[in-house]
Amino acid sequence: MMNATLQDIFIDEGGVQSEQYMSNWDLYDLWGNRMPEAMAQGIVEGNSTMAAGMNVTNYYYNATQMSYAEGLGMYDTRLMGTRVGAVQAMGTVNAMVEGHGVKAYRMRTTSGGGMRRRDEL
């Protein structure tokens, strides 16, 4: 189990405490919609038959169809990841991380609190 307080996460240059630790945040697992291994292997190997049978648009975001700003505004899970929880103001982010593993989260402020919506990675 890994954990970090919002106070640990939001320290600005020079060690100054940032005000973001006083906001509520939603947590999104950036790898929550990860491409299945079989699809990735088919693409890497150039196996067009395998890739053709799978809908890659479920995993790839096409920014020519919709801008990143629009996609984020619509909570497109290909950009946001899968919502896995929330952390309250001055709270702690907890994550199960396998040995030698990595977790990557997008944090987005919840509405309210007087702070404009903000994303952090």
pTM listed for this prediction? 0.71
- Residues 12-65: pLDDT tens digits? 776 677 788 888 999 999 887 777 777 777 777 876 665 556 677 777 788 889
- Residues 74-90: pLDDT tens digits? 888 888 888 899 999 99
pLDDT at 73 over 80: yes
User: Mean of the pLDDT values across residues 5-17?
Assistant: 80
What is the token pair recorded at 13? 């240059």
Q: Which residues of 106-121 are buried (b: 16+ CB within 10 A; e: fewer)?
A: bbbbeeeeeeeeeeee
For residue 77, the model assigns a pLDDT of 81
